[in-house]
């Protein structure tokens, strides 16, 4: 597609349930990032994928969070046993290479609400 696509746009889930968020990066982009934005806060880095290298998971807030990416394609972010503090907008971004913060394109985000 023309841009980074995320699904679903909105997700409401009950506390304790697992959720899976999906990101389709721009075709050909080797780098993929997940960020989250909680209400009134800036974007927080979660995880970074670069090609087939081991991902940088240093931003994941707990072991309930995990993400996968196969090659240079779709990525999924999974949150297990969701808590109310997980409520946020989860943003995915991609770029041609890691040396391109100015060439990083964001998706529209998935708004997650845990009730």
Partner 1 sequence: DQQVKQNSPSLSVQEGRISILNCDYTNSMFDYFLWYKKYPAEGPTFLISISSIKDKNEDGRFTVFLNKSAKHLSLHIVPSQPGDSAVYFCAASAGAGSYQLTFGKGTKLSVIP
The terminus-to-terminus CA distance of the chain in angstroms comes to: 33
Give bridge partners of residue 45 from the DSSP assignment: 35
* Rounded Cα gap, residues 14 and 31, in angstroms: 32
* Rounded Cα gap, residues 27 and 46, in angstroms: 22
Q: Binding partner 1 by CB under 8 A: which of 22, 30, 44, 76? A: 44
CB of 72 to partner 1, least distance (A): 15
- Residue 105 touching partner 1 (CB under 8 A): yes
Phi and psi at residue 80, to the nearest 5°: -95, 150
Q: By CB under 8 A, what part of segment 58-87 binds partner 1?
A: 59
Q: Binding partner 1 by CB under 8 A: which of 56, 76, 80, 96? A: 56
Count of positions on this chain that bind partner 1 (CB under 8 A): 28
CB of 8 to partner 1, least distance (A): 13
Write the DSSP symbol of residue 115: -
- Residue 23 touching partner 1 (CB under 8 A): no
Nearer to partner 1 among residue 20 and residue 89 (C-beta): 89
Among the listed residues 30, 2, 7, 52, the one whose alpha carbon sits nearest the alpha carbon of residue 97: 30
Residues of the shown chain interacting with partner 1 in the complex, contacts defined by CB under 8 A:
4, 31, 33, 35, 40-45, 48, 50, 56, 59, 91, 93, 95, 98-99, 101-109
């Amino acid at each position: 597609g023309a841009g980074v696509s995320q699904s679903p746009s909105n997700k409401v889930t009950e506390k304790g349930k697992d959720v899976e968020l999906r990101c389709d990066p721009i075709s050909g982009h080797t780098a993929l990032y997940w960020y989250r934005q909680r209400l009134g806060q800036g974007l927080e880095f979660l995880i970074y994928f670069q090609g087939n290298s081991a991902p940088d998971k240093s931003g994941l807030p707990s072991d309930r969070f995990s993400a996968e990416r196969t090659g240079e394609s779709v990525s999924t972010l999974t949150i297990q046993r969701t808590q109310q503090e997980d409520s946020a907008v989860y943003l995915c971004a991609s770029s041609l290479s890691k040396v391109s913060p100015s060439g990083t394109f964001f998706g529209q985000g998935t708004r997650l609400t845990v009730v």
